[in-house]
Amino acid sequence: MSRANTVLETPLTSLDHVELTPLPPLNAAQESETPTVTQNKDSLKRDWRLLFRFISCGVSFFVAGVNDGSLGALLPYVIRSYGLTTAIASSVYAANFLGWLTSALVNTHLSQHLDLGALLALGAALQIAAQALRAWTTPFPLFVATFWLTSVGQAFQDTHANSYVAGASKGAHNLLGFIHACYMAGCLLAPFAASPVAAAREPSVWYLSYAVSAGLGVVNLLMCVVAFRDSVGMKSSGPRSAGDDASMSEDEPRRQAATRLLQKTLKQSSLWYISVFFFFYLGMTLTASGWVVEYLVDVRDGDLDRVSYVPAGFSGGCLLGRLLLPEPTHRYGERLMGTIYLVICLGVQLVFWFRVPNIIAASIAISVFGFFSGPLFAAAMSVGSRLFPSETRSTALALVFVFAQMGGSLFPIVTGLLSTSVGVWVLQPMLVSLIAVTIVTWFIIPKPKDSQNDELHQE
């Protein structure tokens, strides 16, 4: 009898002594395939979501650049449309500064109630409202008020987008350069979009160009809501930040918590050092870009129609600088590279002053000036994000932006007043002095310690 028959004829009276050995899996790789694929899909989903958030932050800066860049092209039409003097027309700059100041005062308190997405969406909505009010023949006082509204909205978005990008990725130096390059892209394109609308017919319908800005604002708002949809709402009760003082109880009123946070921010010496730098830095760049056309016309006898696009060269230089220079700046150190950039700016400005009588060469010089001055903003933001603790970062950045706007408003006005009394040639010694002081303030910014904000910028 065969072995098979013997086995079949054997009685199985009990299964107690039968040992069942589990079959091995058909493919061992298949056992781990499902969780691995799931993890990869989740990781890819998170990466795309993070990328969309960074793009949304970039769009918010682009919209801000379009708003700021269009003003210079439209201001002559505004003056003629309302029958204004230049002194009265400059009130829009004062409204801009008051908007940033207002934001600095209320930002800390709002941050205790609104989550990140809600703050970004609020900033976008305020800008849409301002652009919509400008898109018709609004009374001039209301027109000025819209610049206050726009600045409040920009301040909310710029502050929290900067803070988010600085802390959300280890490659923050490149991402900061990207979002600030988006701002300069808006500044570069705005005059080419606004000027044709303003000059399309007589009398000018310059105000219709703000309808384009309102449309971009709607895109900005939608992207903020979609990208940060999980934080578009109110914060839950009690402090959310793990870095809050231990003595702060969870039932303490949020108003007192915001006041303590503001006081803690103001006690940081690094806040004042970096604020002084931005005060002179933005004053330097806005004075250069704001008065160069008048200087070329009055001192160099340039044709207004030919030199009116020179500020676009400055914006284009800044755009390229913010795209191309963040990586070498990060690689070799912000302090060293920032010093090199400022020294180059000083040299270019001296050449522009003494050695460049030709208008074309002067235009190239102002573009080179923009190229090397542009990346300093993102570099200083990167340094500041490492100097400020996470719980005070958004409050500190809001105050830094206020000081920057103060310099950006004060020095162009001072240059204008001096030009009225002694001539526009005063622009050159004013710029050389501002660059020299900016170099000094760059050196007094503290060097971030490796132990501070260890979650940031770790490659």
- Give residue 258's pLDDT band: very low, low, confident or very high (50, 70, 90): low
What Cα–Cα distance (Å) separates residue 370 from each residue in 239, 310, 312, 322, 363? 43, 11, 10, 10, 11
Contact 56, 178 (CB under 8 A): no
Are residue 276 and residue 378 in the same domain, yes or no? Answer: yes
Do 278 and 144 reside in the same domain of the chain? Answer: no
Q: Are residues 132 and 189 in the same domain?
A: yes
Q: What is the DSSP string of 146-213?
A: HHHHHHHHHHHHHHHHHHHHHHH-TTHHHHHHHHHHHHHHHHHHHHHHHHHHHTSSSS--GGGHHHHH
Q: What is the mean pLDDT of residues 301-319?
A: 78
The answer to whether residue 233 scores a pLDDT higher than 70 is: yes
Structure-token pair, residue 179: 């979002």
Tokens of 98: 């008051």
Final residue in a domain of this structure, among 234, 250, 280 = 234
The pLDDT of residue 237 is 56
**Same domain? 321 vs 442:** yes
Shared-domain flag, residues 273 and 227? no
Higher pLDDT, 372 or 97: 372
Query: Across the chain, what does the average pLDDT equal?
Result: 79
Q: Is the separation of the CB atoms in 147 and 96 below 8 Å?
A: yes
- Look at residue 57 and tell me if it is in a domain: yes
Q: pLDDT band at residue 41, thresholds of 50, 70 and 90?
A: low
If one compares 29 and 105, the residue with the highest pLDDT of the two is 105
Residue numbers of the domain that contains 102? 49-234
Task: Assign 249 a pLDDT band (cuts: 50, 70, 90).
Answer: very low
**Same domain as 166, residue 60:** yes
* In a shared domain, residues 103 and 210: yes
Residue 76 included in any domain: yes
Question: Is the backbone peptide bond immediately before 203 cis, with ω within 30 degrees of 0?
Answer: yes
The strand pairing partners of 114, in sequence order, are: 234
pLDDT more than 90, % of the chain: 28
Nearest-CA neighbor of 203 among 85, 305, 81?
81
The predicted-structure confidence for 325-374, as pLDDT tens digits, reads as follows 988 988 898 889 999 999 999 999 998 888 666 777 878 888 999 999 98
Using DSSP, state whether 35 is helix, strand or coil.
helix
In this prediction, residues 186-198 reach a mean pLDDT of 85
Look at residue 343 in the predicted model and tell me its pLDDT: 95
If we measure between CA atoms, which residue out of 400, 348, 344, 458 comes closest to residue 336? 344
Is the predicted pLDDT of residue 28 greater than 50, yes or no?
Answer: no
Residue 354, both tokens: 């003494």
63 with 158, same domain?
yes
Band of the pLDDT at 93, cuts 50, 70, 90? confident
SS3 of 114, please? strand
Q: What is the pLDDT of residue 26?
A: 46
Cα 189 to Cα 205: distance, rounded to the nearest angstrom: 19
C-alpha–C-alpha distance, residues 358 and 381, integer Å: 36
> What is the pLDDT confidence band of residue 443, given thresholds at 50, 70 and 90?
very high
Measured between alpha carbons, how far is residue 130 from residues 145, 233, 288 in Å? Answer: 8, 23, 27
Whether residues 229 and 377 share a domain: the answer is no
The DSSP output letter for 234 is B
Q: Is the model more confident about 28 or about 65?
A: 65
Q: Is residue 2 in some structural domain?
A: no
Task: Give the pLDDT mean for 14-34.
Answer: 48
- Confidence at 252, pLDDT banded by 50, 70, 90: low
Residue 242 lies in a domain: no
Q: Is the pLDDT of residue 171 over 70?
A: no
CATH number at residue 269: 1.20.1250.20
pLDDT, tens digit, 9 for 90 and up, residues 126-153: 999 999 999 888 899 999 999 999 999 9
Which residue carries 């250069």 as its tokens?
288
Counted domains in the chain: 2
- CA dist list (Å): 82 to 87, 140, 150, 157, 212: 13, 7, 21, 31, 22
* pLDDT at residue 196 in the model: 83
Range in 192-196, 304-308, 316-320 with the lowest mean pLDDT: 304-308
* 303 and 442 housed in the same domain: yes
Residue 390 amino acid letter: S
Residues 200 and 270 in one domain: no
- State the pLDDT at residue 246: 44
Which of 216, 234, 252 terminates a domain? The answer is 234
Q: What is the mean pLDDT of residues 226-255?
A: 62
In a domain, 365, yes or no: yes
pLDDT score at 286: 84
